[in-house]
Amino acid sequence: MLVMVWSVLLSVACTPVQTVPNVVVLNVGETVSHSTAQQFVSIASEVAWTIEVEYLAPEGVEGWCSFSQTEGEGNANVVMSFGKNTLEESRSLLLRVAFSRGLFVQESVEITFTQLSAGEILEQPTPKWLELPAFTADQQRYYFSKHMLASSGNTARSFSLLYDSDIYHSLWVAYPISKLHTPGGGSRKDDWGRMDPNIPSSKQVYLKSSFNSNYDRGHLCPAATRFHPNTTENCQLLSIPTNMSPQLSGLNQEKWAQIEGQVRSWGSGCDTLYVVTGAVFRTVGGNENISYAYGKSDSSKQVAVPNYYYKALLQRRGTEGNSTYQAMALWVPHKATSSEVSTSQFVITIDELEKRTGIDFFHNLDDATEQAVEQKVDYNFWRM
């Protein structure tokens, strides 16, 4: 009988285990600035897991990081919280996520996480994504913030932005539209109390309630571009204040809403549509007056109101390395505008948009393609 039991155990132990890789991603990054206070530890797994922490440096400095949960099973977004680093040097820890597949198979993923001191500058390579304009971020006034797609296990991008903390408004928000981003199903789900985790909260406006007067909380990256049947996180993240603009109801709920629907339609008809939605306060060489709004939940901060909005669009068809491109821009004055007004009257070339804004769009294209698509608009291609 003992021999029989041992034989059974041996046969079980020698049976090949079919495994799915366990993935751990820090959505903000493995190195953050001294002022970052929170990020997600995104775990993709089919099994039980536990989080362990070993504080590395400075020696004797411990307990400065906490987690919303330290054990679970299956996929999860664990909130990792840490206060401002007031030390004169960076501090670091070893984050270990241990996975258990039973008695005989265990594994772990280890990530070294570092929070810089106030005197250190966070330098990150700029992604070569086609939707990103050329920009410079200094982490003092101008902040670059990128957010990943929760429904992809945080391995694919959702949207990125360049935020001007002096005026509490993003200069642009850039994002792709494809079947990956909007597979169908799902609905809008807001989370108005959330802040952008990549930017100090003190430099943002709390928008639990809307803006004053007749301004809506206008999404720069629309919620409908991130509907997904399996997660609400894609939509909720779009409620952060860095993705909001004080937009007149007569534009936001009329022509702008119609334009957003048209852009989604163009995105569904190609492999990828790269979009930059921007706000312009003064054109190059212009002297437009700038007015200000405030959030009803945070009236101490004055948010600049755009004089114009734009959308820069780059459509790609075909496989990578064998693609064709078309581009155009929409330039929309910030005033109440009926949805019955023809979209064609807002169309300009990318070259013209660059003259008005001083921004270099779609610079990650090869030079010949960029020059060709930015100097003209094919109205037949865009069906207008």
Q: Which residues contact 39 (CB under 8 A, 6 or more apart)?
A: 26, 27, 28, 29, 32, 79, 80, 197
Q: Which of 132, 319, 332, 169 is CA-nearest to residue 245?
A: 169
Using the predicted structure, report yes or no on whether residue 229 has a pLDDT greater than 70. no
Residue range 143-191, pLDDT digits in tens: 999 998 877 777 789 999 999 999 999 999 999 998 887 766 666 777 7
Please compute the mean of the pLDDT values over residues 355-375 and round it to a whole number.
96
User: Contact, 293 vs 211, CB < 8 A?
Assistant: yes
Task: Using the structure block, give the residue that is written with the tokens 């897991």.
Answer: 49
Residue range 73-94, pLDDT digits in tens: 998 889 899 988 999 999 999 9
Using the predicted structure, report yes or no on whether residue 3 has a pLDDT greater than 50. no
> 293 and 348: one domain?
yes
User: Could you give the percent of the chain with pLDDT greater than 70?
Assistant: 90
> 81 and 158: one domain?
no
> 214 and 344: one domain?
yes
Is 11 part of a structural domain of the chain? no
How many C-beta atoms lie closer than 10 Å to residue 363's C-beta?
A: 14
Measure the CA–CA gap between 363 and 17, rounded to whole angstroms. Answer: 47
> 82 and 173: one domain?
no
For the chain, give the mean pLDDT. 88
- Residue 37: exposure state from Cβ atoms within 10 A (0-12, 13-18, ≥19): middle
> 197 and 310: one domain?
yes
CATH number, residue 311: 3.40.570.10
Measure the CA–CA gap between 137 and 143, rounded to whole angstroms. Answer: 5
Give CA 215 to chain center in angstroms.
24
> 228 and 262: one domain?
yes
Is 115 part of a structural domain of the chain? yes
HSE-CB at 98 with a 13 A cutoff on CA atoms is 11
Measure the CA–CA gap between 367 and 132, rounded to whole angstroms. Answer: 15
Measure the CA–CA gap between 358 and 361, rounded to whole angstroms. Answer: 9
> 283 and 305: one domain?
yes
Measure the CA–CA gap between 148 and 274, rounded to whole angstroms. Answer: 16
> 137 and 50: one domain?
no
Is 13 part of a structural domain of the chain? no
Counted domains in the chain: 2
Structural domain boundaries enclosing 45: 20-123
> 181 and 274: one domain?
yes
Measure the CA–CA gap between 274 and 221, rounded to whole angstroms. Answer: 12
How confident is residue 27, by pLDDT bands cut at 50, 70 and 90? Answer: confident
User: Contact, 207 vs 298, CB < 8 A?
Assistant: yes
How confident is residue 103, by pLDDT bands cut at 50, 70 and 90? Answer: low
Is 200 part of a structural domain of the chain? yes
Q: Bridge partners of 81?
A: 38, 66
Residue range 310-360, pLDDT digits in tens: 999 999 998 767 899 999 999 999 999 999 999 999 999 999 999 999 999
Measure the CA–CA gap between 263 and 244, rounded to whole angstroms. Answer: 18
> 173 and 109: one domain?
no
Is 243 part of a structural domain of the chain? yes
> 157 and 300: one domain?
yes
What is the reported pLDDT for 165? 95
> 261 and 153: one domain?
yes
Instruction: Put residue 282 in one of left, alpha, beta given phi > 0 → left and psi -120 to 50 → alpha.
Output: beta
How confident is residue 12, by pLDDT bands cut at 50, 70 and 90? Answer: very low
CATH number, residue 77: 2.60.40.10
The radius of gyration of the chain's CA atoms, rounded to the nearest angstrom, is: 24
How confident is residue 138, by pLDDT bands cut at 50, 70 and 90? Answer: confident
Q: Which of 292, 189, 275, 170 is CA-nearest to residue 232?
A: 189
Question: Which tokens sit at 321?
Answer: 């390395």
Last residue of a domain, one of 123, 139, 168: 123
What is the reported pLDDT for 52? 95
